[in-house]
Amino acid sequence: MSAKNEKSWQARIGEATDAIAQAFVESMTYDWRLYKHDIAGSIAHATMLARQGLITDDDRDAIVKGLKEIESEIDHDGPKWDGFKPELEDIHMCVESALTQRVGEPGRKLHTARSRNDQVALDLVLWLREATTQVRESLLLLCRAFVKLAEENRDVVMPSFTHLQRAQPIVAGAECLAWATMFDRDVSRLHQIVKQSEEISPLGSGAIAGTSLPINPSIPAGELGFARGPVSSIESTASRDLACDFVYACAMIAQHLSRLAEQWIIYMSTEFGFIRIADRYTTSSSMMPQKRNPDMLELIRGRCGNVYGDLFALMTILKGLPVGYNRDLQEDKRIVFRAFDTVNQCLTMAAAIVNSASFDKDRIRPTLDKGFLDATSLAEYLVTKGIPFRTAHHIVGTLVARCEKEGKDALSQLSVEAFNQVIASTNCNVRVTDDVYTCLGAENVVNRYQSTGAGGGKPFDEQLRAWKKRFGI
Ligand code: ARG
């Protein structure tokens, strides 16, 4: 019998692990977060061992009871649980050691036909499945906040921007739905990861080559929500593809959050003044008493850099690994935990900010006529009169230049004669009437949009209706 806390491999390794090496190799201080998944995996494994006659039903019952007690202790104590001993290296050894101390011999049978290599691969997939579901929930809360903001700002007309220059008018609500659409694509990406996490259970792979014992991996696979057990024991213990997919999905979410943060920081500046967020999501300056800074949005933008770093770190760790387990793989946990924590916190923060936001119509309206936002609308109007688009584009460009020369802010300040003069100069037979003013002015323009998904008019109403229906709003 081995003494308390002595490692299971002490028989082979002559001397105790060096203290520096001990602190260096351990992962318990962070992989304790896998405890629920580790215990679920062990219960499923013990269930299979009993069904295959590899342990008795009594052994199984003692194991299951002991593991459930351990789980509720950790639920209660968290990382302070007294079974967490860094000298035991990781969550797997801590739980197994505590189990054996508690239930005796049956605990020593739990690791039959199992290695920490298939055990940790399983734990990680189970953790990723749960984490993905949580991020998905956070994303949906953010989408919902955008739909609410879209509804509240369905009548606010504002410029859209390309090259950060005024482009065409839109309703503010349509821009909110643009963000919702972007984050909804992240939801779909996560959905694929959940589906993937329900495919192959690594448990039953052993250390690399499987086992000579008559196990049945499809039993724990079924218990744990997988379609099947390992297809290749070698591959199952060696790959972290799903972790890469997860961190990539996190990096995409972080990218989207960072773009949102950037846009809103600009919109919150005095120069724009398009958006207000609640003061509780801003801070001030220790020196400049007047300041109201969007620090939370800046941190969301900044933390994207951390998540990109996580993706790069994981991909780089994996690039040199021969097939089969290598201890380098232990580093994957730090990365997925950190990417998850960062992104989930950023999503929660972003949703709170969006829920508190409003568009400042009084700031947007006075400058709405600046920038000839209706120029494209006028060109399209001319197309409906039979003028080829390229010619129409040239006519409107000439009219805009004329406005600028004459100190006019808007195309609607031109007379019907002025429109017709420029049209005539292109040798077109078409002449316009007063009717031309119906396509001018930002408010008129947004109501004229017809194409699916457009930034105003009926297409926007349809988008909003579909989103509201989806969220039962
Ligand atoms: N703590 C290890 C990890 O997270 C578990 C597997 C260790 N296996 C081994 N044979 N050393 O990857």
- Whether the per-residue pLDDT at 338 is higher than 60: the answer is yes
Kind of pairing between the strands at 275-276 and 358-359:
antiparallel
Ligand 1 binding pocket includes 390 (Cβ within 6 Å): no
- Whether the per-residue pLDDT at 11 is higher than 90: the answer is no
Which of 87, 90, 124 maximizes ligand 1 atoms within 8 Å of its Cβ, making it the mutation to test the pocket?
Answer: 90
Best CA proximity match to 194, nearest among 126, 140, 144:
126
Ligand 1 binding pocket includes 238 (Cβ within 6 Å): no
Cβ atoms of residues 396 and 379 within 8 Å: yes
Q: For residue 84, give both structure tokens.
A: 């967490």
Expressed in angstroms and rounded, the spacing between residue 173 Cα and the centre of ligand 1 is 50
Task: Tell me what percent of the residues of the chain surpass a pLDDT of 90.
Answer: 93
Expressed in angstroms and rounded, the spacing between residue 327 Cα and the centre of ligand 1 is 6
Q: For residue 54, give both structure tokens.
A: 């590899």
Mean pLDDT, residues 347-369: 96
29-45: string of b/e by CB count within 10 Å (b at 16+)?
Answer: ebbbbbbebbbbbbbbb
Predicted local distance difference test score (pLDDT) of residue 5: 52
pLDDT greater at residue 16 or residue 422: 422
Cβ atoms of residues 146 and 352 within 8 Å: no
Predicted local distance difference test score (pLDDT) of residue 6: 62
The answer to whether 3-112 and 117-153+177-366 have equal CATH topology is: no
Q: Which residues partner with 275 through β-bridges?
A: 359
Burial class (CB in 10 A: 0-12, 13-18, 19+), 4: exposed
Expressed in angstroms and rounded, the spacing between residue 92 Cα and the centre of ligand 1 is 9
Predicted local distance difference test score (pLDDT) of residue 63: 98
Predicted local distance difference test score (pLDDT) of residue 2: 43
Distance between CA atoms of 254 and 119, rounded to whole angstroms?
Answer: 30
Cβ atoms of residues 81 and 138 within 8 Å: no
Ligand 1 binding pocket includes 76 (Cβ within 6 Å): no
Best CA proximity match to 337, nearest among 68, 43, 34:
34
Best CA proximity match to 109, nearest among 68, 73, 67, 75:
67
For atom 12 of ligand 1, which residue has the closest CA? 330
Q: For residue 25, give both structure tokens.
A: 């190799």
pLDDT digits (tens, 9 = 90+) for 292-312: 899 999 999 999 999 999 999
Ligand 1 binding pocket includes 28 (Cβ within 6 Å): no
For atom 4 of ligand 1, which residue has the closest CA? 330
Residue 276, φ and ψ in degrees, nearest 5: -120, 140
For residue 163, the SS3 value is: coil
Residues comprising the chain, all counted: 473
CATH class of 367-471: mainly alpha
Ligand 1 binding pocket includes 158 (Cβ within 6 Å): no
For residue 120, the ligand 1 atom closest to its alpha carbon is 5
Fold entry, domain 3-112: Fumarase C; Chain B, domain 1 (1.10.275)
- Whether the per-residue pLDDT at 1 is higher than 60: the answer is no
Cβ atoms of residues 123 and 34 within 8 Å: yes
Ligand 1 binding pocket includes 327 (Cβ within 6 Å): yes
Q: Is 285 a catalytic residue?
A: yes
Which of 13, 35, 87, 120 maximizes ligand 1 atoms within 8 Å of its Cβ, making it the mutation to test the pocket?
Answer: 120
Ligand 1 binding pocket includes 37 (Cβ within 6 Å): no
DSSP letter string, 44-97: HHHHHHHHTTSS-HHHHHHHHHHHHHHHHHHHHHGGG-TT--GGG-SHHHHHHH
Predicted local distance difference test score (pLDDT) of residue 291: 84
Which of 9, 85, 117, 318 maximizes ligand 1 atoms within 8 Å of its Cβ, making it the mutation to test the pocket?
Answer: 117
Distance between CA atoms of 85 and 26, rounded to whole angstroms?
Answer: 9
Predicted local distance difference test score (pLDDT) of residue 17: 81
Cβ atoms of residues 292 and 245 within 8 Å: no
Domain boundaries defined on the chain: 3-112, 117-153+177-366, 367-471
For atom 2 of ligand 1, which residue has the closest CA? 330
Residue 87, φ and ψ in degrees, nearest 5: -65, -15
Mean pLDDT, residues 440-469: 98
Q: For residue 182, give both structure tokens.
A: 């972007």
Q: For residue 147, give both structure tokens.
A: 């739909």
Q: For residue 71, give both structure tokens.
A: 């789980």
Best CA proximity match to 337, nearest among 328, 345, 347:
345
- Tokens 């996560």 appear where? 190
- Whether the per-residue pLDDT at 3 is higher than 50: the answer is no
Q: What are the residues whose beta carbons fall under 8 Å from the beta carbon of 78, sequence distance 6 or more?
A: none
- Whether the per-residue pLDDT at 114 is higher than 90: the answer is yes
pLDDT greater at residue 153 or residue 13: 153
Q: Is 163 a catalytic residue?
A: yes
Distance between CA atoms of 32 and 223, rounded to whole angstroms?
Answer: 22
Domain 117-153+177-366, architecture per CATH: Up-down Bundle (1.20)
pLDDT digits (tens, 9 = 90+) for 245-283: 999 999 999 999 999 999 999 999 999 999 999 999 998
pLDDT digits (tens, 9 = 90+) for 145-201: 999 999 999 999 999 999 999 999 999 999 999 999 999 999 999 999 999 999 999
3-state helix, strand, coil in the chain (%, to 5): 65, 5, 30
For atom 7 of ligand 1, which residue has the closest CA? 116
